[in-house]
Amino acid sequence: MKVFSFLTKKNISIGLIWLFHVSGIMGIVYSDSTWFLKATPINLTLSFVLLLTNTHLNSKAILMLLFCFTIGMAAEIIGVEFGFLFGNYSYGDALGYKVMGVPLTIGINWCILIFITGFIAQFFSKLLLVKVFIGVGLMLFLDLVMEPVAPKIDFWTFEGGLASFQNYFGWTIVALPLQWAFHKTSIKIEGPFPFHLYLLQFMFFLILLLKLNTTEF
């Protein structure tokens, strides 16, 4: 009975994302990195589905997801096509099928990031503006470890090398209204799943960054 009581939706979801992320890290670092990188869209999609499984999906939550996906994709398309918002950059092939140069998984990732950072921010303050800025700060903190790694694993590449201040400023401009909308709609997510997913995404890129500084992929 204890075994079955442990196998809850929350625990299974957390176990699966740990399995997939740790397997991905181990595979990229110690095995066939090309194969594991091609599986990135699957990992992102699984994380998104499990996030939805742990989210109370009422009409407000569904509209919020559509809002995040649409704004995120629109901002990225503008960025890729015109160099506006984030600077001059382009996406590689590792993130899957693209629409106007932007992988659909990037739109999904905007949804994931807003939901998990917004959820975590709620534990730091009850004030709306404070929660919004903490959520944006968590997103930028994660992006700091993503940017040096992204070109090496064919996620995206900025013209001239690493992302400039414009990228982080653009992230802030796009993320602010999304974070505000998340908190105004009072999205309910069950359990600690967002904490685990944020930690795993940070660990994933940090470990690859450390690997990058010691040897080549």
39-61 pLDDT, tens digit each: 888 889 999 999 999 999 999 99
Cα gap 22→204, rounded to integer Å:
8
Check: CB of residue 181 under 8 Å from CB of residue 67: yes
Residue with tokens 């090309």: 34
Distances (CA, A) of 128 to 109, 170, 187, 193: 23, 21, 14, 22
pLDDT band at 216 (very low <50, low <70, confident <90, very high): low
Q: Which residue has the higher pLDDT, 34 or 174?
A: 174
CB 170 within 8 A of CB 85: yes
- Mean of all residue pLDDT scores within the chain: 89
pLDDT, greater one: 2 or 51: 51
Q: What is the pTM of this model?
A: 0.92
